[in-house]
Amino acid sequence: MVLTYNPNASWRDTARQPRLWIFNARALPPILVAMFHITYTTVGIAIVCVIALQVMEYYGFSAPVFLRYLRSKSAGSRRVATPWWM
């Protein structure tokens, strides 16, 4: 699903997900923390974040979309028309 770089790309390409090689750029903060504070815990968290983002991308989710999906699933399928305090 990753396309090759086009030097003649236009402004329409600005809506694409940012990438660092084949990985999602949202995985960069945990990787940077792991690089500057090298422990087994931080490296493990960075690896888990990269794997989780890759799996979500494989299934067609981005991080914000997946959080919205979790929120809708946790709310349930029943929507009450009147507020709970009435």
Q: What is the mean pLDDT of residues 75-82?
A: 81
Give the integer Cα–Cα distance in Å for 61 and 59. 6
What's the pTM?
0.66
Q: What is the reported pLDDT for 10? A: 73
Q: What is the reported pLDDT for 3? A: 62
Give the integer Cα–Cα distance in Å for 65 and 56. 10
pLDDT in tens, 15-73: 777 788 888 888 889 999 999 999 999 999 999 999 998 898 889 888 888 899 999 89
CB 63 within 8 A of CB 56: yes
Q: Where are the alpha helices (DSSP H) in the chain?
A: 28-36, 40-58, 63-75
CB 18 within 8 A of CB 29: no
Q: What is the reported pLDDT for 37? A: 92
